[in-house]
Amino acid sequence: MIDIFGKPQNVLVLGGSSEIAIEVLRAFNITNRIMNLYLAGRDLPRLNQLADEFRSENTNCEVIHADHDESSFRLIEHIENIEIDIAIMASGYLPPQDQQFKPDEVKKVINRNLLAVAEVGSVVIEKFINQNFGVLIIFSSVAAMRPRPDNFLYGASKAGLDNWARGAMFKLKNTGAKVLLVRTGMVDTRMSRHLERAPMTVDKKFVANKIVKNIKGTNQILWIPLKIKFLVFFLKIIPNKLLNYVVK
Amino acid sequence: MKSRISGWGLNNFSYTNLITFEKTNKRNYQLFNSGSNFIPRGLGRSYGDAAQLTGGDTVLSGDTTGYILDEENGILNVSAGADFDFLIRELVPRGWFLPVVPGTRYITVGGAIAADIHGKNHHRDGSFGNFIYSFELLTPNGKISCSAFDNTELFFATIGGMGLTGLILSAKIELIKIETSLIKGEIIKFKNINDLLIGFKDYDEKYKYSVAWVDLLAKGNSLGRGILSLGNHAKTSDLNSKSASDIFYYRANQKISIPFYLPTGTLNSLTTNIFNKLWYLKDKKQSKKLFSIPSFFHPLDGIKNWNKIYGKQGFLQYQFVVPDTRSEFLIEVIKKCSNQKIPIFLAVLKKMGASNGGLLSFGKPGWTLTLDIPMRTPNLENFLNDLDEDVVANEGRIYLAKDSLLNPTKFNAMYSNSEKFRALRTKGSFNNFIQSDLSRRLSI
């Protein structure tokens, strides 16, 4: 169950080594709570290291191997047998800018950013509908709002995910469960560290704290930082010619 | 389609199937065969999540007016769905009163037993469970009668058992005889908490009912200043000519209503401070007067939906009891609230008396302090977690009917009979059928 402060007892993380997800878990104060934590992902050594950090007298932590192969089906079966209060869908991949037209990269991006999340998320949603509570956290991006040359492939996958998440909101209406769609600009993590800092770049702890504050309540779309919502409004209405001139 | 409900604190909503139990409807006896867990619910005046079950069934009583009054012996045989507002209207004009009434009359008899409610007379008379001769309980094994001599274990598990031991169908209650419908009251102001604690000791002997409002924002020499309200049932000789014309006159209306949620933040340190100052000043230092039953026992009930003044984020009520010897801890809590400027306009202090045999009954000898705290209070979670630990360290406990946040570890530390209660639930298979959000949270 999720308590009155939005703190859960059972959490699933897909993309368990995601830095933002880790900060969300820290903001939940995992080690001081009685709970079950499930870390699902590809990087088993890293996941096991994190599990050791979170494991405590009160907290059980299980690592589940999940890649976009047959292991994802085992994960889906596993989900059906465990309790989940909050599911953090943090699986994500940012392709190199010069690789965006490589078929392998296209497949990787779409699989990790959209397909894996939608597949696993669908099972979680059914679970939430049956139990009448739960929060499904999905990470979108301003890149989803309008394609730009340097990240259009990433943006395409996030646009698909953003639409899927908004569809899921309809499904969860009046069930007691909700989607929390997190739309951020650039976040300072290892995924973006090699890139030039964009305006309104935020820290991962800041993102995590905002997420935790919005677990309770009716808000389903969370812009971080809030002012990026207004930037996106203008980005969407700028004519292409002007956008091409402004954006590299 | 599921209904969205919550406790009185409006701080944790739940989607649940609301179903109404009718004693005459045989299908309803299949409560234990429906395949779904359920929890009984009265009028939803528990502040937390005790009377709701997310994803399950929440059972309301269909019989809200059935009763038989044995006027010779002062015994009321009443349906568990009847509420105190209805019963007081029926009983007072006939010269009877309920033996224990809490701060609201909008609770059912079943809820009163399940929460083992207490009132302003706990220091003398104990809690509601002390006045129950017997009740009928619907269990997985059918309908059974429980009393202090019959199915005793289940009797004492049900009193204060938060509805987790079956559906209470009806109860036999001992009433008290009254000469009039008025309360002969005395109001005394105390400049600080130390004087107030002494005041309780001085006056509790003389009065059946006593409770104090405490100003938690007062500081320095005025720390914990308060107003002690005392009362006894008025005798006919106490009445003036006007009130003597109808000695059992009783009228209780909800004069105003809060139609919508006030903006979050309406109750803040500033507005609360202003309210507290005005409230403290409104009374003389010491005065005696006759009160009507509603104005003495249930002043807040005069405002319908008063909980909406806390806004959409709601509030929680935190009530704990600590032994007599821990009055220093009480003062520390008051000091903390004052220093942190927590906007609590309703803080109530009461002396408690002997406990009864209820396994999860709250009342025990000592001091109980009740705090209404807005959910938007900064750093509230840490404040409450620290307070929980301090309550445990001071041999105290939290009232489950008000609780929104305890975890199993703290609950076990506060209630020495917690394992006994769990064992009973397992033995009787109650845990296979009856659950609430509270029981899930506390792993009961």
Bridge partners, B288 (sequence order): B186
- Report yes or no: B381 at the A interface, CB cutoff 8 Å: yes
Question: What pLDDT score does A241 carry?
Answer: 84
The amino acid present at B183, given as its one-letter code, is I
Cα–chain center distance at B133: 20
- Residue A24, pLDDT > 90, answer yes
Question: What pLDDT score does A115 carry?
Answer: 93
For B358-391, give the DSSP string: -TT----SEEEEEEEEETTSTTHHHHHHHHHHHH
* Dihedral of alpha carbons B436, B9, A58, B421, sign: negative
Looking at CA atoms only, how far is residue A40 from chain B in angstroms?
Answer: 25
Instruction: Give the Cα separation of B132 and B112 in Å (integer).
Output: 11
How many beta-carbon contacts under 8 Å exist across A and B? 51
Average pLDDT, chain A: 91
CB contact under 8 A, B407 and A5: no
Burial class (CB in 10 A: 0-12, 13-18, 19+), A142: buried
Question: Cα separations (Å) of B134 from B50, B145, B154?
Answer: 23, 7, 11
Structure tokens at A26: 């820290």
- Residue A112, pLDDT > 70, answer yes
Burial class (CB in 10 A: 0-12, 13-18, 19+), B15: buried
Question: What pLDDT score does A148 carry?
Answer: 84
Structure tokens at A141: 């991006």
Under 8 Å CB-to-CB from B91, ≥6 apart: which residues? Answer: B69, B76, B97, B98, B175
The answer to whether the beta carbons of residues B388 and B395 sit under 8 Å apart is no
* Parts of chain B with a pLDDT under 70: 23-29
Looking at residues A152-173, what average pLDDT do you find?
A: 97
Question: What pLDDT score does B236 carry?
Answer: 94
- Please report where in the chains the tokens 């009718």 appear, as a residue: B22
Q: For residue B17, give the chain A residue with the closest CA.
A: A132
Question: What pLDDT score does A244 carry?
Answer: 76
Instruction: Give the Cα separation of B128 and B100 in Å (integer).
Output: 5
CB contact under 8 A, A131 and B375: no
CB contact under 8 A, A176 and B12: no
CB contact under 8 A, A1 and B437: yes
| B315 half-sphere exposure, CB direction, 13 A CA radius | 26
3-state secondary structure of B11: coil
Question: What pLDDT score does B23 carry?
Answer: 62
Question: What pLDDT score does A69 carry?
Answer: 63
Instruction: Give the Cα separation of B296 and B97 in Å (integer).
Output: 14
- Report yes or no: A219 at the B interface, CB cutoff 8 Å: no
3-state secondary structure A134-170: EEEEEEEEHHHCCCCCCCHHHHHHHHHHHHHHHHHHH
Question: What pLDDT score does A194 carry?
Answer: 84
Under 8 Å CB-to-CB from B211, ≥6 apart: which residues? Answer: B120, B228, B229, B348, B349, B350
3-state secondary structure of B280: helix
Instruction: Give the Cα separation of B344 and B319 in Å (integer).
Output: 13
3-state secondary structure of B206: coil
Bridge partners, B168 (sequence order): B137
Which residues numbered 136-195 in A keep a CB inside 8 Å of some CB on B? 174-176
Show residues of chain B in contact with A130, CB under 8 Å. Answer: 55
Structure tokens at B26: 């045989």
Show residues of chain A in contact with B48, CB under 8 Å. Answer: 4
- Report yes or no: A33 at the B interface, CB cutoff 8 Å: yes
Question: What pLDDT score does B73 carry?
Answer: 96
Show residues of chain A in contact with B437, CB under 8 Å. Answer: 1
Show residues of chain A in contact with B15, CB under 8 Å. Answer: 132-133, 174-176
The answer to whether the beta carbons of residues B52 and B8 sit under 8 Å apart is no
Binning pLDDT at 50, 70 and 90, where does residue A149 land?
confident
The answer to whether the beta carbons of residues B225 and B191 sit under 8 Å apart is yes
- Report yes or no: B13 at the A interface, CB cutoff 8 Å: yes
Bridge partners, B233 (sequence order): B183
CB contact under 8 A, B54 and A132: yes
**Of A30-44, A176-190, B330-344, which range is least confident?**
A30-44
Which pairs with CB-CB distance under 8 Å and at least 24 residues apart come from B347-350? B347/B213, B347/B214, B347/B215, B347/B216, B347/B371, B347/B372, B348/B103, B348/B211, B348/B212, B348/B213, B348/B214, B349/B196, B349/B200, B349/B211, B349/B212, B349/B213, B349/B214, B349/B226, B350/B120, B350/B122, B350/B123, B350/B210, B350/B211, B350/B212
Which of these, A68, A222, A240, A24, lies nearest to A141 by C-alpha position?
A222
- Please report where in the chains the tokens 């994802």 appear, as a residue: A72
A59-65 and A35-41 beta bridge pairing: parallel
CB contact under 8 A, A175 and B437: no
Under 8 Å CB-to-CB from B377, ≥6 apart: which residues? Answer: B342, B343, B383
- Report yes or no: B398 at the A interface, CB cutoff 8 Å: no
Q: For residue B5, give the chain A residue with the closest CA.
A: A176
Instruction: Give the Cα separation of B88 and B100 in Å (integer).
Output: 11
Provide the ipTM: 0.90
A176 closest CB neighbour out of B54, B375, B440: B54
State yes or no: cis peptide before B323, omega within 30 of 0.
Answer: no
3-state secondary structure of A187: strand
Question: Cα separations (Å) of A107 from A16, A99, A121, A151, A157?
Answer: 21, 12, 19, 15, 10
Beta-sheet strand order (sheet of A59-65): A59-65, A35-41, A10-14, A86-89, A134-141, A177-184, A221-224
H or E segment to which residue B210 belongs: strand B209-214
Question: What pLDDT score does B265 carry?
Answer: 84
Question: What pLDDT score does B199 carry?
Answer: 96
